[in-house]
Amino acid sequence: MFRSTYDVRSCLVLCALITLFAVPSQGEDQKTEPTNASEAAAKKAKQAADLNQKFAAWKATLSPEQQAWETVLEENLGGFYLPHYQRAKLQGEITAWDYVADDPQLPRVILIGDSVSRGYTVATRNALAGKANVHRAPANCGPTATALKQLDVWLGNGDWDVIHFNFGIHDRRTPPADYEARLETIVERLQKTGATLIWASTTPVPSDWKEGPSIKTAIEERNVIAARVMKKHGIEIDDLFTFITPQLAETQNPKDVHFNEQGYTQLGTQVAKSISEALKKHDSK
């Protein structure tokens, strides 16, 4: 009887201790949650500072060449993408913006484009492993207007063999004449690199996307404009729009311009195929 009473009391004490340490009081909850906008801003700033400090410590362990690349990313990824990238690297994840240590025996390729392009970068890199050094522009490249300002930064000092590029979704509201004129200027700049150029058509926008069905038509119109510019300059077209359209039900996120893992893998495989073909032509020059 004594032992039974002792066991019950021990259990009650243990439960009380678990409750005490595992469940904070209402007052403690209130202390951890911001009570106004200034506190929320201060908390956010502290989190950002902590992240930057941890990233700086990680960066300090890298080679000088990779540190230089990380600095370029810090200067160009912006307030949305940079924290995501920093957290990913601190967790040891593979990303589209990873530093590429070139194999001098392999050709150098760079992908330029928006978040869809970013999405298929790793798949492209994997598909071309041992065949090409696949780099990515240090940004979500956005519209043609941004490209006119940032192309020199994105291209860096690289001696590129192939440049695979796209601008479209972020130009959905750019006047058609301006879009065409900017593409002309971009092509002229890229041609100065001596690289083989590949234009990627813009992937489809669903008619039920948040911005309405008119955007679907706008993208299709810009693909026509871009094709006209590329044909004028003799630039190969990687028609991702036509390639992925029959597979949208399985590969594109619902009511979204972005793709699931299967979609990005398929796009990356197609991009790698177009680059491989371009490299053959480049080698024969």
CA separation for the pair 271, 164 (Å, rounded): 8
Inside any domain, residue 45: no
Give the pLDDT score at 91.
Answer: 98
Look at the chain and report how many structural domains it folds into: 1
Inside any domain, residue 251: yes
Inside any domain, residue 121: yes
- Digit-by-digit pLDDT tens for the chain (285 residues) are 434 444 544 444 444 433 433 434 444 444 567 778 888 889 989 999 999 999 999 999 999 999 999 999 999 999 999 999 999 999 999 999 999 999 999 999 999 999 999 999 999 999 999 999 999 999 999 999 999 999 999 999 889 999 999 999 999 999 999 999 999 999 999 999 999 999 999 999 988 888 878 899 999 999 999 999 999 999 999 999 999 999 999 999 999 999 999 999 999 999 999 999 999 886 766
Write phi, then psi, for 257 (nearest 5 degrees): -85, -10
Give the pLDDT score at 138.
Answer: 98
Inside any domain, residue 54: no
Inside any domain, residue 63: no
Give the pLDDT score at 13.
Answer: 41
Inside any domain, residue 184: yes
Inside any domain, residue 35: no
Q: What per-residue string of b and e applies to 73-111 under the rule 16 or more CB within 10 Å gives b?
A: bbebbeeebbbebbeebeeeeeebbbbbeeeeebbbbbb
Q: Identify the domain containing residue 126 by its residue range.
A: 108-283
Inside any domain, residue 78: no
The CATH number covering residue 169 comes to 3.40.50.1110
